[in-house]
Amino acid sequence: MSHPILNDQLQSLDDQGLATTLACLADTCKTISQQLKRGELAGILGAAGNENVQGEEQKKLDVIANDLIKSALGACEPVRGIASEEEDDVVGLRESAGLLVTFDPLDGSSNIDINSMVGTIFSILPGQSTGPVTEAEFLQPGRNQVAAGYVLYGPSTMLALTTGNGVDMYTLDPVSGDFLLTREANIPEATKEFAINMSNQRFWAPAVQTYIAELLQGAEGPRGKNYNMRWVAAMVADVHRVLCRGGVFMYPWDQRDPNKPGKLRLMYEANPMGFLVEQAGGQCCTPEGPILDLQPEKIHQRVPVILGAAEEVSRCVGMHS
């Protein structure tokens, strides 16, 4: 069976600057994939000895992946500026270019040392100025994204990508070195599977407590069906499962730090994943409504996230009303 090659598909885009940027990201993720395959043999495991701007301990591969993507985009002519989870501030590259890229270079880095799934998430926005690059220029609602995607480093390396016309999934062929189109994502409206970190249950808001309690009651409860729970502890892996076979994924607000809106970052986690999920037929919301409609206030802003099967997201959001 013949599978279309990513770079050939990108040539059909109207915006060749976007095509060049996506090809650059895909090629860089191939390099990250190779580093991961060598694991401890390459000396990339363990802590880097630093904290990022979020106060989280950086892993060696967090830094390596960030440097690889930053360097590659720095040489990519269409890219005006970048923002990364691992950078304190936005980085201006070239005032004459037209695209802004935000990214989480290695989502789920706590999984690195146990050889479990991790990934790279990215979002591409249109530039808003021809002058110096500023943080304010990046603060656009997720609806403005011109492309978003992630690369999952698992038993096979896979790229999920949207440019606003559905979600295509590509598998990295280790023989040819090409990303080959292997499937399209479609999230069913209903599901019997959910993903949430149950260890935080006692800290959730009452609406989330009630919603999860319904699911746990199974066929004997108000939902009248049994649910399975899955949790990989890497957003990219849990969302990949939702895109492949349906489900609902949640990382809600909790009262351990009441002033922190959530754990996941809006600009380079929730927005790109929200774009993908909506393009695949699902929903992505906070308790107040669609994530893609939020006006960002700062580059490292956090939000609660409920995404996946439309039936489940609507029910959970409705419980907050």
Binding site listing for Mg(2+): 85, 104, 106-107, 269
Q: Are 142 and 274 in contact (CB under 8 A)?
A: yes
State the binding site: 85, 104, 106-110, 197, 263, 269
| Cα–Cα dist 258/47, whole Å | 29
Q: What is the C-alpha separation between 68 and 298, in angstroms, rounded?
A: 24
Annotated binding site for substrate: 107-110, 197, 263
